[in-house]
Each structure stands twice: as C-alpha cells, then as structure tokens.
Chain A
Amino acid sequence: MTTLTFPLSRIEGHARVVVDVRDGIVQSAKFQATEFRGFEHLVKGAPAEQMPVLVPRICGVCSTAHHVASVKALEDAYGVTPPPLALTIRELLMLGQLLQNQATSLFIFTMPDRLGVDSIFEVGEVGLDGDALAGVAARALRVRQAGTHLITLAGGQFIHPVKAVVGGVTGGIAVAAAAAMRAELADALPVACALFDTYWAYSVALSERLGTWGDDVPACYLTAVSGTRPNYYGDFIRLMGCEGGDMCAQFPAREYRAFLTVGDAEYSYAAQTSYKGNVLRANSLARANLVDSLGTPCANEYLQRFHREFGQPAHAILLFDLARGIELVYAIERAIEILSESLDGAETRLPYEPRDGEGYGLVEAPRGPLIHHYRIENGLIAQAEFVIPTVHNVLAIERALRVAAERYITPDRVNLELERAVGRVVRAFDPCIACATH
C-alpha cells in the first residue's frame, strides 16, 4: 500500500488529504481535519447570555454567522421576537459576511489555481499582468474590504461582531453612514463584476485544459435559502434530492436530527453528515440549485446564464466557485437595496426575560446552513451543539477527491496533476476547518 499525503493551503484552517493506493488502484481518499479546540466542552457552564460574544471566536472567517446564530438560539429559548428593523440589520450583517467570504474564496483562495501561481499577491511578479489581471490583488482586496466595512457598520466590531443582542441589535444605522456605505458598495460593484468576468473566463479555460468541470455523480443539496432575493438570515432548511426537481424535505432547525445523520471519523477531528445514506452538499452550488431568481439585476443575469449553461441542478465541482461569484455580486446589490431603506428607526430591540430551556438558531452561512443548539439550566449553558456547514460537505469532498484520484492514478504512474486537482477540489467546497472541528 502506498499512502499519498497532500498538505492543504488557501483554505481556512488546518487539514490534509490522504489517498491510499494499492497496485495502482485507489483504496480510499480521506479529508483529515487536524485541529481541535473543543468549543462544545469549553462553553459548558458559561452564562448563556455571553454566548453571542464567545462563539464568534469559533472562527474569524465565519464569526458573523456564529454571532447571529447564537443570538437566534437564545431568542428561541427565551421566546422573544426581535423588531423588523433589527432583522433587517442582521440580514445586512449576513450580507457583509457573504460578500467578504465569497471575495476571499474566489480571488484569494481559488484564483491562483486558474492562473498557475502560488498566491494572488505574486501575479504581478511572475509577469501575468495583462489588462484583465492588472492590479488584481489590490482590486480583490478592495472588494472584500467593502464586505468588512459592511460587517463593521452592521456588526460593530470588524471580525467578531457585537451588535446583535438578544431581542434585537444595539442600535440602528445613521442616514449618513448608510449613504457612505452605499457609495462604497456602488463603487465596488463594477470592480467585482469585472473580476468575476475574468474569473469566469479563466475557469472556462481551465475546464477546457482539464477536459472537465470536475464531474461527479449527483448529490443531495442542503440550504436554508430559496425563492427570490434569498435571505441568508435563515428560516427553514431545504433538502433537494439527487434528481433535482421537487424538494424532498423542508424542516426547521429543531428537527434536523430526523433528517441528518451526524457521524464521526477516527482519522479526523471533524464529523460528517449524511441524509439517509446519501452524500450531501451545502454551500454556493446548493443555493444556485435551489434558488430560481436572485431578483437583483446583475446577479440575476449571472444566475440565468449559469442555469442556461450548466442546467439546474448542476453537479460539477468547479461550479461551486462560479456560483460563489454570482453571490458576491448579489451580496453587493442586495446590500445597496437594504441600505436605501430607512435604518435609523428607534425600535431596535425588545426587552426579554431569560429563562431555562432549549433553543435553536439557524442561519445560512456562506458555507451552508449553520445551527446553534443550546440547553440552558440555571442561566448557564448545560449543553451546546454546533452543526457546522462544512461538516455537511465532508463526505462530498471525500467522494470528489476519490473521483480525482482515480482520474490521475493509473497502475503505472501517478500524474502530478493530482496534487493540483486535490487543491482545486477541496477549495471548490471552501471548507472551514476551525468551524468544522470547533
């Protein structure tokens, strides 16, 4: 038996891929998460009301999603419904997260794979600087910075937000601040579209070079958004069967155990989810498959083109990346829409009485549905459970890795393209290991 180990970079956190081969036949392809901090253990005994400040520290990339899911779980337990303005500001916060994350994944994590460089920051140095790529790193950072500014405006702190509180948010958004943010986003929109067009063109070139978009057999898709102008604040989880078309399930967060099986693997610190023995997929492609229209002009045009060219549902691996670009454009356009509404109203939060019990909080994080589940006794966390989007994708990642390994490993040789393919496959799912292991 030969064991090939591939270290991973340009993803969040510490992980590696291990492929076992015997006589040129791939025996297994494993995705190993190699870090662990133990949040479910270490928050035990913490005052429940401190969770919204503690849990963003699970992950600095997905901190906003944890912050909002946490507040929603406490509101569920306490039986309080925040006023409409607070919900709007939280939606804005989620859009800031989406914008920042998709820009990072697209341009910093995966663009180098399309250009054959080790990092976006060396594009100029290696002489790739054609018209479409001039100053690409600076432009990419500028777009993602608009997301950071949106998170700061709607969330208070720039990485670990503080503004969502049980019953609402700590305050509205002043007219002048909203106008300035709108202007920044309006400037970022054409920059983002131009970068995405370049990205799309280089992705087509990559697929032509490889002879594939990364085909894999169909999977089930999982997301908490649907309809038109999708709201990442999250209400129900939707599950699309392998064949597409009719949804096969829709359920609230508190019923997730009836639909999702969470398993453990001894070779990884991350768990893995499945649906009745089927491989699941969450993240951008799940949303592109379940959303019919985005309702904002540019993003919707991209989505229609995507559906036209690749079908609905689409299954190829590299389409996750393209779908992410569509959402980047959507996040900017939708945030501009929301910032045009009045956000400086007086009613931003409602009073509440803490009480013991159970609560579930659901949001659609950039990587898929995220659930926080708390059991509260004497005002303290007796049990906390974090159901992480990346965990839904672990089996899908492993299956796609196996497809890639079988493509590039033959009895007489291992094609060196495999190393690049492993990176591309994993990055297409944009896994977050800090979250997955927590």
Chain B
Amino acid sequence: MKCFAVLQLSGCAGCEVALLNAEAWVEAYKLVYMPLVVSAEDVPEVDVLLISGGVRTDEDLYKLRRAVKNAQQVVAVGTCAISGGVANLGDRDEVRSLFLAERDRPHVPRLLPKSHPVDTFVAVDLYVPGCPPTSELFMAVLTNPHDFQASKVVCQECGRQKLRDVKPAHLLGFQQGEVLPDVCLINQGYLCIGSSTRGGCRAPCPRAGHPCVGCRGPSDVFIEKESTAWFTSIKRVFATMTNVPEAEIEQGLRSPQLALFLFQFSDYADNKTVAGDHQPRPKEKVL
C-alpha cells in the first residue's frame, strides 16, 4: 500500500480539509503523518509528501528540511506552499516592521521576515495550485497526476453563456449587483479572470455567481512567462468583451483579492529555486 504524509506549515488547514473531503483514498492509501488527523511524532519514509502552508517561522523551516529527506516525491499543494499565500500580503515595509517589533516573543518559534514558498528551500516535484485544490485534484495527485483530465482554463468549465452584444461600461465591484444565472460574469460587469486561469477546479465560484479570482494560477500558456503576460491577456479579454477603461481593470487586478493569486507563479513572490537561479516552474510540474 502506498504511504503518504501531509506536512502542515503556516496556513489555514483548508488544503487538509479538502483532502479529507476526498474520502476515496482511505481504502487505498496509508496516511502515516498529518498532525491534523494522526498522532505521529515525525514524518517516516513515504512515497508521497504533500506540503501545505508557507514557510513563516524557523520551526516551519526546520520541519520542512527534515521531512523532505524521507520522501520519494515532494508535492507543494495550495497557494501558500507555492507562493507564501495570503500571509504574503504582509510583505510590505510597514507590516514587516510591525511583525518583527510586536511579535518577537521568547518562547515561541521565531518569525521569518516574510512567508516563503516551499521551493525557496527544497526541491519540489509537483505543484498543485488552488486555494485550496479540490478533492478531485488531491485524488489525482495520489493516483496518477499525468492522467488527470481538465480543461485548459476555468472559463471552459463554467458553462455560462458569453453574449456578444452586451458590453458593460464599468466594473460592478465584487459585492455589487444582481447576478443573472446563465450569463457570463464578464458580460455582467464582473472582474472574472476565469478566461485564463488554470482549469481543473470545475469552476465552483463562477457557477455559484462569484467571479473567478484566479486561485488556480495561470494556464499552461502563461505559467512559464512573466506575470505581465497574464495581465496583458486578461486586459485583452476585457477590451474585447467590455467597454471598461483599462485603468479600472488594472486597479482591480492589483487589489489584494486578485493579486494574492495572480502573482503566485511570478517572481513577485520569492521563487528562487534551490539551485539559486530564477527559472519559472516548468508547466510539466504543475497539475
């Protein structure tokens, strides 16, 4: 029976909960380490090590370095493990100084200056973006990632109808307006970026009437390019489908709710690899 472990660094446990939602692994895999559900001291030898959360404290770093030694395959799951995640919104001067001044406590793990992606410190074999990745994606990781079938982008999984003649003049804002059930959210004036966000989640958010915020990261077309390529593509979609001024789109894309995810594969986060170079993560390694 294949053995796997889940190393939880600084995160919200949403990835772990998503794994628990996928019950099918229970009969086929042995879960040997995952502090949320198993009492075990340390990560033993495993076939697969899933890592969730960013590296926020010196304890995270210590656990990470110890754990990967025992793993055949290392998988970074979720936005935090890939980019530092939501905690990386604190990577601003005024916030850093607050952290370092107020939160220096004698008996708890020391905070690093910022939340780091896992691959700043160790080599990663597979990246599974999503905040969190769906249960289906977790199952794909444990079975055969290369067999996973998904659309290229969220847009193709959404099922909403694009209308050619409905062109909004301004964005509605994330919380405003009535959502028509079957019509494309862009037609309705929402800053939905599902048109170039990586598919595979089956589009739960736009289906429920909320614009895609891009938590799965860029599709294969953009994943090895700089984030400006993704930006430009999104702006082009809105230029074609709406009359919204470009500055408005730009401002929306750079607001925290989207920036958090839009930059997850860019060097806005610290994606220096173990080898010390600044290569993008190859698309073959991203599920």
Binding site for B on A (CB under 8 A): 7-14, 18, 32-39, 41-44, 46-47, 49-50, 52-54, 56-61, 63, 74, 104, 108-109, 112, 118-121, 137-138, 141-142, 144-145, 148, 152, 155-160, 162-163, 165-167, 170-171, 266-269, 349, 351-352, 423, 434
Contact = CB atoms under 8 A, between A and B. Distances in A.
A58 B106 CA distance: 24
Contact of B108 (A32, A39, A158, A171): A32
A163 B175 CA distance: 10
Given A41-B99, A43-B89, A159-B132, A121 B17 contact: no
B239 interface: no
Contact of A42 (B11, B15, B90, B111): B90
B256 A35 contact: no
Which range contains the number of B residues in contact with the other chain?
35 or more
A267 B39 contact: no
Contacts of B177: 351
A178 B105 CA distance: 50
A269 B105 contact: yes
A97 to B, nearest CB: 11
A33 to B, nearest CB: 8
Contacts of B282: none
B140 interface: no
Name the residue among A13, A35, A47 with the largest chain B CB count within 10 angstroms.
Answer: A35
B177 to A, nearest CB: 8
Contacts of A148: 21
B255 to A, nearest CB: 6
B109 A34 contact: yes
A118 B23 contact: no
A39 B209 CA distance: 27
B40 interface: yes
B35 interface: yes
Contacts of A57: 12, 14, 85-86, 131
B105 A267 contact: yes
A7 B39 CA distance: 10
A10 B37 contact: yes
A165 B111 CA distance: 34
Nearest to B59: A34
Contacts of A52: 175
B61 interface: no
B75 interface: no
A42 B210 contact: no
Contacts of B38: 9-10, 118-119, 121
A41 B95 contact: yes
A44 B92 CA distance: 11
A170 B12 contact: no
Contacts of A60: 11-18, 132
Contacts of B95: 38, 41-42, 44
Contacts of B174: 49-50, 53, 165
B31 interface: yes
Contacts, number: 212
Nearest to A170: B209
A121 B31 contact: yes
B204 A158 contact: yes
A42 B37 CA distance: 29
B40 A118 contact: yes
B193 interface: no
A203 to B, nearest CB: 18
B20 interface: yes
A240 to B, nearest CB: 30
B173 interface: yes
A198 to B, nearest CB: 18
A47 to B, nearest CB: 6
Contacts of A104: 17, 20
A149 B175 CA distance: 24
B178 interface: yes
A320 B105 CA distance: 31
B257 A157 contact: no
B87 interface: yes
Nearest to B99: A38
B57 interface: yes
A166 B115 CA distance: 31
B159 interface: no
Contacts of B166: none
A53 B27 CA distance: 35
B181 interface: yes
A39 B20 CA distance: 26
13 contacts: A36-B111, A41-B90, A42-B89, A49-B174, A121-B37, A141-B20, A141-B26, A142-B23, A157-B205, A159-B18, A170-B208, A266-B107, A268-B105
B36 A36 contact: no
B66 interface: no
B213 interface: yes
Closest 8 pairs between A and B when the two form their complex, measured CB to CB? A60-B14, A156-B208, A170-B209, A162-B210, A42-B90, A119-B38, A50-B257, A141-B23
Contacts of A36: 10, 56-57, 99, 103, 108, 111
Given A57-B85, A119-B31, A50 B255 contact: yes
Interface string B114-135: 0100000000000000011011
Given A41-B99, A53-B257, A61-B13, 17 more contacts: A8-B35, A10-B38, A35-B109, A38-B95, A43-B256, A46-B89, A46-B255, A60-B14, A108-B37, A144-B20, A156-B207, A159-B131, A160-B131, A165-B210, A267-B105, A423-B39, A434-B13
Contacts of A8: 35
B200 to A, nearest CB: 14
Contacts of A137: 26
B105 A349 contact: no
B161 to A, nearest CB: 16
B89 A268 contact: no
A35 B10 contact: yes
